Structure 1
Amino acid sequence: MALNEQKLQEQFSLRKVLLPMLLGLGIVAYMLYRNYEPAQLQILRQASPLWLAITLLVLFIRDFGYVYRIRSVTDQALSWRQSFSVIMLWEFASCALPSVVGGSTVAAFMLMKERIPLGKSIAQVMVTAMLDNLYFVVSVPVVLVMVGHRVVPAADAVGEAIQAGLTTAFAVSYLLVTVYAFLMAYALLLNPRAVKRLLLRLSRSGWLRRWRLILFNQANELLIASQHLRRKGAGYWWRAGISTAFVWTARYAIIGCLIAAFTHLDLQEHILLFSRNLIYKIVLMMSVTPGAAGVAEIAFPAFFGMFLGGFTTIIVLLYRLLTYYLYLLMGALVFPRWASRVFSQSRTKADQAVVPVD
């Protein structure tokens, strides 16, 4: 939790907004330059208002689900306004940081600044991470039953080598996420001390020694989080679990809704788009650029171009505007007021703790 006001402001600086925006928009501009046709503007004018409205509704459901979940897992310690601010800043951090880093550390710090004790903050962020991973673990077998091998783009669209690489990456990622999700669940809810001993033992291994401090901190955080979570009742877990299902179902369904505004899709095609999004998100998670900027734009046609043809680039831009650039903008707008409130509270509290000396 090595964050303070100065470091947090650096995370939400203008550079953090502009760098990924310029990178992503630069890729889109190049794609438009290479593939632009006048007919694309005509297709935009013919977009279905109904499906565009459904896309915005699904986006609202996703964000409301996040706000509801963070308020629920914090036992209503946050107001609706505070929950909204935390989620918008959490989304911003996820967009501004490389996908392999994520925004969980920033999120725990923000909860702590909202006067939630550090141990509880860590526990609440870990709960959301555990449930997010469990949703992925459960949803993958379901979509594989429905679409089979079509979940991976065809070889004629991406090439045989890339198709094989995607298949391997998908299988390895699913295995790692499954192990991590169940290990976290076991640690948080059943036997945190055993998992702590395992992590500490691993930290002494030769090839893991470079991550010794990270593993040590993770072991301690798991133990702290477990103490807060093992006393929670069934209602707490039902609310958190159902809201997680709504959030991620909406998150994966947005692409299908947006594409349906420009071309007819049947139910099976919606399911295929939903399943492809699972693989697409794995590719983005492996990106080292902020918010997978550039990588997301380049990879999009390989996964969804078969449904869009010549106007894929336009849909890439619309999709990223709704699911990425929007949150960079919202975070930049929300952060100054949030920082002014929480850090002024901290300074006032510190001033009150000072005893005047005659």
Structure 2
Amino acid sequence: MDQNKKTILKSFSPVKVLIPVFLGLAATAWLFIKDDKVSELKGLAQANIWWLVAALAVLVVRDFGYMFRIRHLTDKFLTWRNSLDVIMLWEFASAVTPSVVGGTTVATIILNKEGIPLGKSLAYVMLTAVLDNMFFIVAAPIALLVSQGEVFPTFNLDPSDVAKLKSAFYISYGLIAVYTFLMIYALFVKPRAFKWLLLRATSIGFLRKWRVNAFQHGNEIMWASQQLKGKDTAYWTKAIVSTVFVWSARYFLLNCLIAAFVDVDFSEHLLIISRNLIFWIVMLIAITPGGAGIVEMAFPSFFGLFLGGFSSVVVVLYRLITYYPYLILGSVFLPKWISKVFGRQQQESEVNV
């Protein structure tokens, strides 16, 4: 079996799909049972239907933004249909892997199997990671400034828990910043020097076992860097604007869900977006697939101030809209995509013979 096919099937195995489902459902059940909040489900009948429709519309618009971005980054090599396959499978990969790992390896294989050379596939995936992380790096200080210190939740939290939360945020933010600026240096400044640094680092005794991987990663960085040279201003402008658009839509979706249950004024909308940004930066170091279980448990502390008795209901809706559908859609798209790309590959091999 093709090694790439093995990697894809291993990454999307039924066990890896069931683990986040189990963790998420267990955490959700615990939220309702621990404080006897099952009756809160009746609150669904009180939801403003138009805000719920708006949430679904934002979700669709966000995914369209992701499709536009990947199609633009590949210089329109991908068709809209192929872009849909890539985004659905990429989201699927992100949903079944820990946030700190992400679906980058699988995303590279997906792009490569869509006919994009490996060097370019690596470049596009790395560039996407850099763009996303730069959004966090720039937006987080703005959120801290706009919220005037209220961005960190204190609702139902002890001062010690708030301190731990702040520490988790600053650690996560620091790791993102270090990783991103290293990637920028490697991709756009000195790719060969970065490879040399990797090889020098892995020449130390206890790091020698990673030397082969360092050599390979260094080569990948150099390939990717070569592919990104010579891009014009329009290319970078559209890449940056589309990144800001998709992440803004991702965060505003929660605003729509909260507004469906409680009245939210403009300043509260800004605070919710700011908290959502901090929330997801903290969640980036989550060790469970897609943050399953951890997101559900942490959600009431961040947004319970706005929702009161509706926090458990909204977190269920939020995950039902933004997380579980990608597990289902990925399971639908994956067999068809494998049949398409690997079946095509087999046909080409037979023709060449």
Contact 2:11 2:93 in 1 (8 A): yes
Deviation at 1:179, TM superposition (A): 2.6
Aligned to 2:351: 352
Contact 1:35 1:310 in 2 (8 A): no
Superposed CA offset, 1:32-82 (max 9, x none): 223344752442112112211221121112111111111111111111010
Take 2:34 and 2:280, find their aligned partners in 1: how far apart are those partners? Answer: 25
Unaligned runs of 5+ in 2: none
Deviation at 1:30, TM superposition (A): 2.2
Aligned to 1:294: 293
Contact 1:17 1:96 in 2 (8 A): yes
**Counterparts in 2 of 1:247 and 1:33: CA distance versus 1, 3 Å:** same
Take 1:157 and 1:205, find their aligned partners in 2: how far apart are those partners? Answer: 48
Matched, 1:46 2:46: yes
Aligned to 1:191: 190
Deviation at 1:165, TM superposition (A): 1.6
Take 1:166 and 1:176, find their aligned partners in 2: how far apart are those partners? Answer: 15
Matched, 1:136 2:136: yes
Kindly provide the amino acid, as one letter, of the partner of residue 252 in structure 2. Answer: A
Take 1:72 and 1:258, find their aligned partners in 2: how far apart are those partners? Answer: 30
**Counterparts in 2 of 1:212 and 1:269: CA distance versus 1, 3 Å:** farther
Deviation at 1:205, TM superposition (A): 4.4
- Larger deviation, residues 272-281 vs 172-181: 172-181
Superposed CA offset, 1:1-43 (max 9, x none): x952133123223222222112211211222223344752442
Percent identity, aligned pairs only?
Answer: 49
Take 1:267 and 1:39, find their aligned partners in 2: how far apart are those partners? Answer: 30
Taking structure 2 as the reference length, the TM-score comes to 0.94
Aligned to 2:119: 119
Kindly provide the amino acid, as one letter, of the partner of residue 230 in structure 2. Answer: R
Query: Which secondary structure state, in structure 1, belongs to the residue aligned with residue 150 of structure 2?
Result: helix
Contact 1:55 1:258 in 2 (8 A): yes
Matched, 1:73 2:73: yes
Aligned to 2:219: 220
Contact 1:21 1:293 in 2 (8 A): yes
Counterparts of 1:256-275 in structure 2, within 5 Å, are: 256-275=255-274
Taking structure 1 as the reference length, the TM-score comes to 0.93
- Larger deviation, residues 50-59 vs 314-323: 50-59
Unaligned runs of 5+ in 1: none
- Larger deviation, residues 344-353 vs 111-120: 344-353
**Counterparts in 2 of 1:88 and 1:208: CA distance versus 1, 3 Å:** same
Query: Which secondary structure state, in structure 2, belongs to the residue aligned with residue 88 of structure 1?
Result: helix
Take 1:185 and 1:344, find their aligned partners in 2: how far apart are those partners? Answer: 37
Take 1:125 and 1:346, find their aligned partners in 2: how far apart are those partners? Answer: 22
- Larger deviation, residues 22-31 vs 78-87: 22-31
Contact 2:140 2:278 in 1 (8 A): no
Query: Which secondary structure state, in structure 1, belongs to the residue aligned with residue 234 of structure 2?
Result: helix
Take 1:205 and 1:149, find their aligned partners in 2: how far apart are those partners? Answer: 44
Counterparts of 1:224-239 in structure 2, within 5 Å, are: 224-239=223-238
Aligned to 2:280: 281
Matched, 1:176 2:175: yes
Kindly provide the amino acid, as one letter, of the partner of residue 120 in structure 2. Answer: K
How many residues are paired up? 352
Deviation at 1:97, TM superposition (A): 1.2
Take 2:248 and 2:25, find their aligned partners in 1: how far apart are those partners? Answer: 27
Take 2:84 and 2:128, find their aligned partners in 1: how far apart are those partners? Answer: 16
Take 1:168 and 1:79, find their aligned partners in 2: how far apart are those partners? Answer: 43
Take 2:296 and 2:209, find their aligned partners in 1: how far apart are those partners? Answer: 33
Superposition RMSD on alpha carbons, in Å?
1.9
Query: Which secondary structure state, in structure 2, belongs to the residue aligned with residue 158 of structure 1?
Result: coil
Take 1:289 and 1:254, find their aligned partners in 2: how far apart are those partners? Answer: 23
Take 1:249 and 1:3, find their aligned partners in 2: how far apart are those partners? Answer: 37
- Larger deviation, residues 284-293 vs 118-127: 284-293
Kindly provide the amino acid, as one letter, of the partner of residue 178 in structure 1. Answer: A
Contact 2:7 2:106 in 1 (8 A): no
- Larger deviation, residues 83-92 vs 42-51: 42-51
Take 1:208 and 1:277, find their aligned partners in 2: how far apart are those partners? Answer: 38
- Larger deviation, residues 336-345 vs 163-172: 163-172
- Larger deviation, residues 208-217 vs 315-324: 208-217
